Amino acid sequence: MRTTSARLADGREIVYFDEGDAPPRVPAPDRRALPPVTASSEMRFDPLLREWVVIASHRQDRTHLPADDACPLCPSTADRATEIPADDYDVVVFENRFASLVADDGRTLDAIGEVERSRRVGAGRCEVVVFGPDHRASFADLTPRRARTVLEAWTERTRALSARPGVEQVFCFENRGPEIGVTLSHPHGQIYALPFVTPRTRRILDSARAHRERTGGDLFADVLRAEREAALRVVARGEHWTAFVPAAARWPVEVHLYPHRPVPDLPALTEAERDDLAPLYLDVLRRMDALFGMPLPYIAAWHQAPVREGRDLSRLRLELFSVRRAPGRLKYLAGAESGMGVFINDVTPETIARRLRESAP
């Protein structure tokens, strides 16, 4: 694989990840006359939950469900220039024009009557990862080789973004399906370089720390061991990874992928671990699509250790979950879930694990 970095017409970076041994890519120029990016983002601290909230009002105007022939993630043609100037590509990563987080310009924002003065620029970086040129495909349709290339892109961008000043955590994820709120149907994901450690990560690190103090063990290793020994909720296994439905699954379809070796993030994986992950991940996604005989909407969230803290406590893992609970039925977060954070699952984790095992594509 080879990488080629270039710039779009408004100065945003674009990186091509090309497979094979062909000569180095000569980036096609961006023919668009784009105005400068005017994204504005700020962060405010919630004193009750002790969490940061990002406010990015410019995103109200982002591209929303364009027609197939107006997709900004398809390759450019002689008649239409898109976000990707090339007429063909394998995997591409570029800075999001409608980013939730922006470059820190050093501004100090005025107080607006908060209990704790906290208002500041939402500094960070948001990137789009395009999985291939086929507009009608999904990640589950990729070949193992292409899935491996996407994994390399996640890995390289995690490494690059982790080295940027002010970045505390790198989050790679995919939202798939309009039921999730996806506004572009072309197969793609995103990467957020965050200026803080996420609330969910902090809570999990606290749990891992308490488990170590209480038992002397590794929480993630103990969870994985329990799941593998019970085998009730294991969906699929590889040489280096196990996919299972967690015992306390919150969502009607939820699968976690754990590496057998404790590693903090994607760059820490060996080549063998990456090679094993690609086909296993595809297998799980195809089982999920086969579950109800239709494409399953899902969120795929990579949990990586923070850049500067808790790396000895955290463990890389992938969490997949869907809001679909049956054909024609979605799980909506209602009073208990949205109001109090108490999840109520309508299906037992053991049942969904069994059905996923039986849904081999």
Region 206-222: what's the mean pLDDT? 98
Q: Which residue has the higher pLDDT, 65 or 220?
A: 220
Mean pLDDT on 334-339: 93
Can you read off the two tokens belonging to residue 142? 């990729």
Residue 23 has pLDDT above 90, yes or no: no
pLDDT band of residue 22 (cuts 50, 70, 90) is: confident
* pLDDT reported for residue 57: 81
Compute the C-alpha angle 248/254/255, nearest 5°: 100
Mean pLDDT of 164-170: 97
Q: Say if residue 361's pLDDT is above 90.
A: no
The tokens 């149907």 sit on which residue?
185
Res. 66 pLDDT band, cuts 50 70 90: confident
pLDDT of residue 177: 94
- What spatial distance separates the first Cα and last Cα of the chain, rounded to whole Å? 29
Residue 6 confidence (pLDDT): 97
In 3D space, the residue among 96, 92, 85, 107 whose CA is nearest the CA of residue 37 turns out to be: 96
Task: Please report the pLDDT score of residue 360 as a whole number.
Answer: 76
pLDDT at 9 > cutoff 80: yes
Q: What percent of the chain has pLDDT over 70?
A: 99
Phi and psi, residue 216, nearest 5°: 80, 0
Q: Of 58-72, 145-159, 179-193, 286-300, which range is least confident?
A: 58-72
pLDDT band per the 50, 70, 90 thresholds, residue 14: very high
Of the candidate ranges 62-71, 82-91, 239-248, 346-355, the one whose mean pLDDT is the lowest: 62-71
pLDDT score recorded for residue 240? 98
pLDDT digits (tens, 9 = 90+) for 69-128: 999 999 999 999 999 999 999 999 999 999 999 998 888 888 888 998 999 999 999 999
What pLDDT does 24 receive? Answer: 86
| Residue whose C-alpha is closest to residue 147's, from 254, 237, 315, 275 | 275
Categorise residue 103: left if φ over 0, alpha if ψ from -120 to 50, beta otherwise: beta
- Residue 279: the pLDDT is 97
Does residue 341 register a pLDDT over 90?
Answer: yes
Per DSSP, 312 falls in state T
- What residues have CB less than 8 Å from 219, skipping those under 6 apart? 207, 208, 211, 212, 313
Residue 229 reports pLDDT greater than 90: yes
Nearest alpha carbon to residue 300 among 322, 279, 278, 320: 320
Q: Would the CATH topology of 2-196 be identical to that of 200-358? A: yes
Band (204; pLDDT cuts 50, 70, 90): very high
Name the one residue in this structure whose structure tokens are 């070796």.
Answer: 261
The token pair that represents 37 in the structure block? 């990016």
Domain boundaries, the chain: 2-196, 200-358
Name the CATH superfamily, with its identifier, for domain 200-358. HIT-like (3.30.428.10)
Rg (CA), the chain: 21
Query: How high is the pLDDT of residue 132?
Result: 97
Q: What is the pLDDT of residue 26?
A: 94
pLDDT tens figures, 245-278: 999 999 999 999 999 999 999 999 999 999 999 9
- Strand ranges (E), the chain: 2-7, 13-18, 42-46, 51-55, 91-95, 120-121, 125-130, 169-176, 188-194, 234-237, 241-244, 253-259, 298-303, 317-322, 324-326, 329-330
pLDDT at 58: 74
Res. 334: pLDDT tops 80: yes
DSSP 8-state assignment for residue 102: B
This prediction has a pTM of 0.96
Q: Can you point out the beta strands (E) in 125-208?
A: 125-130, 169-176, 188-194
pLDDT score recorded for residue 65? 73
pLDDT at 63 > cutoff 80:
no
Q: Is residue 124 within 8 Å of residue 102, measured between CB atoms?
A: yes
Which of the following is catalytic: 188, 240, 256, 303? 188
Active site includes 186?
no
CATH code assigned to 2-196: 3.30.428.10
